[in-house]
Structure 1
Amino acid sequence: MSETSFGALGVPAPLVAVLTQQGIESAFPIQVDTLPDTLKGRDVLGRGKTGSGKTLAFSIPMVARLGGKLAGGKRRPGRPLGLILAPTRELATQITAALTPLAEAYGLNTTTIFGGVSQSRQVSALKAGVDIVVACPGRLEDLMKQGFVNLDSVEITVLDEADHMADLGFLPVVTRILDKTPSSGQRLLFSATLDNGVDKIVRRFLHNEVLHSVDEATSHVSAMTHHVFEVDTAESKKELIEKLASGTGRRILFMRTKHHAKKLAKALTDAGIPSVDLHGNLSQVARDRNLAAFSAGDVKVLVATDVAARGVHVDDIELVIHVDPPAEHKAYLHRSGRTARAGSAGDVVTIVLPAQKRDTDQLLRKAAITVTPQRVNAASPAVIALTGDVAAYVKPVPRVEQPHGQSQGGRSQGANAQRKRVNRDDRDNGGRGSRDSGGRGGRSGDAVAAGGARRDRTERPASGGRGNAPRTGGSGNGGSGRSGGLQVGGLVRGSGSTGGGARRSAPRRAQG
């Protein structure tokens, strides 16, 4: 296959120089196909598998056009010229990392917007003026409703991994966001498939678009070798996992649940194999820290849920292990796509217990993967060959246990996150009051008397009011003459009793 240079595709010299400096001299197929159209301002629908080079396929034309004739002059607070929507924080972060050097070549600046962290830095960046915003839909809509960002100046909009946005239920939010961008702007949509409503987005928002489809939806990298290892018992599976994880190269182990990902990372570390976990229960600070340690090679094993199946690009991942086979074939392909990237080779192992054989066979058939299962144990030649050189044992560092109930990281203060916390607290406590506050509903006064002044979720002392004096007794059933105040997740709410007590409602939250 002949190689095509970026200069031959019409990419401006300043961007070619940046790419060359990074060692990127030849374009991937999806870049070869789409760049001539995107650089001219055409709407493009690009289909390509994970790892096919989509990020540069839309980053290059966005920077080239915004840095040229579409330049907006002096930056205006909260009014970006370019918008890229991504389904996950990790993907948004990695898009920004690839985009920023290109943008700097034209004096353009970028910022990343997503939930799970305090919005203050994001708001400050918007107020200072930003050219290109890379965002997850939920937090972006939140900031739009708060008046911090306006999309009426957006010249180019990109939707990346649109099918994954559909899987996560983001399409209604995406639709509302796109409605706020000028219909005359250029729109680029990249997706592996066009199912689950993605086709509706295409029909509604793309005009006279050009379709470039590099791969079929089920295609997989030819340099990727697939293995199915069958084991008889949970104990033999545990030994196999530890053996496969013990090599010197980078490897990702995929689990179904957050709890099991955390548990396995801890078990491997205790066994002398330093490992980090990546899943939705971690704060964004912890997720960034763990991913950075894995990317830098400080640890060679990442234990993750499907949050890492897309948008995590780390070079030289030699092995992906499906410790828990995924629920459907698209997840299998995206997980597996973390290896054999950018022309490199890689191996993919699926570990199967007897009860999982039938479902795994169906999954692989839908993914168009042909592989002969092997019955193995930790000492089997096929396992030893995949493990390669075994890394030296690393004595685990003693852990300092976190006090029960203490925060594990930063808390997002966005309106959307605050509303979710209030709803979660209501749901967990069933509207009957916190059990930490003295058992069955209505006895929150015990906690107040013991712990001092009541505080809401923002740690501000609750304002005083009639019928809310601390008390230590009472049946808590809303008897006459009592306030019936219930403490739910730190918010004080009225129980609806009819005595002299005053009704108190939760603080109003901004709707996001």
Structure 2
Amino acid sequence: MKHPNDSGIAHGSPAQPGATTPALLPAVTFAGLELPAEVLRTLSELGVREPFPIQAATLPDALEGRDILGRGRTGSGKTLAFGLPLLTRTAGRRAEPKQPLALILVPTRELAQQVTQALAPYAEALRLRIATVVGGTSIGRQVTALRQGAEVVVATPGRLHDLIERNACRLGRVGITVLDEADQMCDLGFLPQVADVLDQVHPDGQRMLFSATLDRDVDQLVRRYLHDPVVHSVDPTAGTVTTMEHHVLVVHGPDRYAVTTEIAARDGRVLLFLDTKHAVDQLTRHLRASGVHAGALHSGKSQPQRTRTLAQFKNSQITVLVATNVAARGLHVDDLDLVVNVDPPTDVKDYVHRAGRTARAGESGSVVTLVLAGQRRETSRMMAEAGIEPTVTKVRSGEAELSRITGAKTPSGIPLDAGPAVPRPKNTNAPFRGLGTSKGTSRGAGGKSRKAGEARKLAEARRAALVRRNG
């Protein structure tokens, strides 16, 4: 087995166009691989019996120290695909203070925590220390963890950059670097920071890049930093996952709020996606006032709040997670069978990654997108681009068809927090701000109501003054 620093990679050199290293034969079982006995025992204890396709394909090459370019949707088992080789090839070595030996770079805090949790049992079995470096939490504790020595660092680009600037972390001894969800890191504007990190790691180290798409920015990273990588693309896109159903529900504007509330009141968990933090908070408050156990997740929440909400959703203390795209990646919840786009995404990537929260690892699930009549054409175009042919159905709140597709039911109306009970929304309700209605429509209706109230108050004050004057 090749040592992390024996790969002979020329630092920063691009991959030659068309050059590919022949892949080794895929693994049939974990036992047939060069994995330590401690790892095999942990796999057995955790009930991990057979490798998923992405693991079977990449593990033989990754364990040999080859650069890997993996393309596949989320939920395919990529964490162990890169994590087991990284831990195996790092085992037996000890990190100096501030100088990790392996680095996993991810775009979001949630994904960083998920990767750490997934790899922790195997790292513990191999006596390797993992430090998680993300924003929103105490940087002082992270500085301490790095100073004490951590063989593996799981990091988001922004916080890692801050620690490097403080001279709390040095990357010169990093022999294995993983970029997970590389396309999202580029989409979020982290390309310069990612490139800066790759310029600092050991020039002859192993690099593994996993991405759902290989667009221009990701291709730039591949060509500059991966040397003759073994390419694996074994997982289907969201549009070809046979266990995933796609539905477009055409709703009447004023009825959209009621439809959303009834879907949220279903038996079982559901993940609702909206576009803005304000809309997420507003809908969450309404759902809780309607008796639905809902929690909000977006970038405006503190990291402890986000961690607590995710934990409550995973253990079913809350059954509805209302979120922005911050939950579109890095969120794995067992047996999550329904994802609802309350605000329909306009970008193919957003749809694919939102959809990827369900039907994971061979399980089944449904993705429902609510659209107004005027949004059908744009949504159809976006789905066609994603290779998806959804079932289109016109629905109204309270209808059996809505319940058949989503499990929708009438909420209890008993508030979970202090406050009066909320009556069940009816078809005549005004559109809800943040659920795809225009700001102008919502403001117009509210504005007229406020003006009418102010006019009444002014008229009453004038009548009272006239009575006093004439009395």
Aligned to 1:241: 260
In structure 2, C-alpha distance between the alignment counterparts of 1:356 and 1:392, rounded to whole Å: 27
Q: Does 1:61 align with 2:81?
A: no
Moved more, 82-91 or 384-393: 384-393
1:37 corresponds to 2:56: no
| Equivalent residue number for residue 13 of structure 2 | none
* Aligned-partner Cα distance in 2 for 1:3–1:225: 30
Q: Deviations over 1:308-335 (max 9, x none)?
A: 0000011111110000001201110100
SS in 1 for 2:208: strand
* Letter paired with 2:28: T
Mapping of residues 67-86 of structure 1, within 5 Å = 67=91, 71-73=92-94, 75-86=95-106
The whole-number CA distance in structure 2 between the counterparts of 1:217 and 1:342 is 13
Contact 1:270-1:396 within 8 A present in 2 as well: yes
For residue 239 of structure 1, give the secondary structure of its aligned residue in structure 2: helix
- Name 1:195's counterpart in structure 2: 215
Per-residue deviation, 1:342: 1.4
Determine if the alignment matches structure 1 residue 125 to structure 2 residue 145. Answer: yes
Do the aligned residues in 2 keep the contact of 1:62 with 1:82 (CA within 8 Å)?
yes
Aligned to 1:15: 39
Instruction: Tell me, yes or no, if the aligned pair for 2:246 and 2:391 is still in contact at 8 Å.
Output: no
Is the Cα contact below 8 Å between 1:220 and 1:333 reproduced in 2?
A: no
Residues 42 and 186 in structure 1, CA contact (< 8 A), matched pair in contact too: yes
Shift in Å at residue 274 of structure 1?
Answer: 1.1
Structure 1 partner of 2:131 = 111
C-alpha contact 1:49 1:220 (8 A) present in aligned 2:
no
Q: Which residue of 2 aligns with 1:285?
A: 304
CA distance in 2, matches of 1:332, 1:8: 37
5+ unaligned residues in a row in structure 2: which ranges? Answer: 1-25, 420-471
Asked if 1:340 corresponds to 2:359, the answer is: yes
Residue of structure 2 equivalent to 1:296:
315
**Partner amino acid for 1:362?**
R
1:26-62 alpha-carbon deviations (Å, 9 max, x no partner): 1111101000000111111111111111111001101
Question: Match for residue 158 of structure 1?
Answer: 178
Q: Deviations over 1:336-356 (max 9, x none)?
A: 110111111001100001221
CA distance in 2, matches of 1:41, 1:98: 22
SS state at 2:32 partner? helix
Contact 2:135–2:159, Cα closer than 8 Å, also in 1? yes
Structure 2 residue 17 is matched with structure 1 residue 5: no
Partner of 1:214: 234
Q: Match for 1:6: what amino acid?
A: F
Report the structure, 1 or 2, having the larger helix content: 2
Distance 2:176 2:378 in 1: 43
Q: How far apart are the structure 2 equivalents of 1:136 and 1:307?
A: 14
Structure 1 Cα separation of the partners of residues 375 and 126 of structure 2: 53
Identify the residue that residue 229 of structure 1 maps to in structure 2.
249
For the 8 Å contact 2:398–2:410, the answer to whether it is kept is: no
Deviation at 1:118, TM superposition (A): 2.5
Match 1:47 to one of 64, 71, 78:
71
C-alpha distance in 2 between matches for 1:19 and 1:392 = 42
Please state how far the C-alpha of 1:10 moved relative to its aligned partner. Answer: 3.3
CA contact (8 A) 1:246 1:387 kept: no
Paired with 1:204 and 1:283, the residues of 2 have a C-alpha distance of: 36
C-alpha displacement at 1:144, in angstroms?
0.4
Q: Deviations over 1:430-455 (max 9, x none)?
A: xxxxxxxxxxxxxxxxxxxxxxxxxx
Instruction: Choose the corresponding residue for 1:363, options 378, 382, 386.
Output: 382
Take 2:239 and 2:340, find their aligned partners in 1: how far apart are those partners? 19
Residue in structure 2 matched with residue 500 of structure 1 by the alignment: none
Shift of 1:391: 9.0
Matched residue of 1:9: which SS? coil
* Cα offset, 1:122, TM superposition: 0.5
Q: Does 1:99 align with 2:119?
A: yes
Structure 1 gaps of 5+ residues are 400-512
> Match for 1:213: what amino acid?
S
1:189 and 1:40 map into 2 onto residues whose CA distance is: 16
Larger relative contact order (Cα-Cα within 8 Å, sequence gap ≥ 6): 2
Judge conservation of contact 2:276–2:324 (CA < 8 Å) in 1.
yes
* Structure 1 residues 243 and 187: CA distance shift in structure 2, 3 A: same
Contact 1:183 1:205 in 2 (8 A): no
1:386 and 2:402 matched: no
- TM-score, normalization by structure 1: 0.74
Structure 2 residue aligned with 1:349, among 365, 368, 371?
368
Q: In 1, Cα distance between the equivalents of 2:151 and 2:64?
A: 20
Aligned residue identity for 2:68: V
Separation of aligned partners in 1, 2:410 and 2:321: 15
Change (3 A) 1:227 1:281: same
Q: Is the 8 A contact 1:193 1:217 kept in 2?
A: no
SS in 2 for 1:277: strand
Q: How does 1:345-494 map to 2 (within 5 A)?
A: 345-388=364-407, 393=412, 395-398=415-418
State the 1:9 CA deviation. Answer: 3.4
Secondary structure at the aligned position of 1:80 is classed as coil
Q: Which amino acid is the alignment partner of residue 187 of structure 1?
A: R
Q: Distance in 2 between matches of 1:281 and 1:359?
A: 29
User: What corresponds to 2:325 in structure 1?
Assistant: 306
Residue 52 of structure 2 corresponds to residue 28 of structure 1: yes
Secondary structure of the corresponding residue to residue 289 of structure 1? helix
* Partner SS for 2:104: strand
> Over aligned residue pairs, what C-alpha RMSD do you find?
1.7
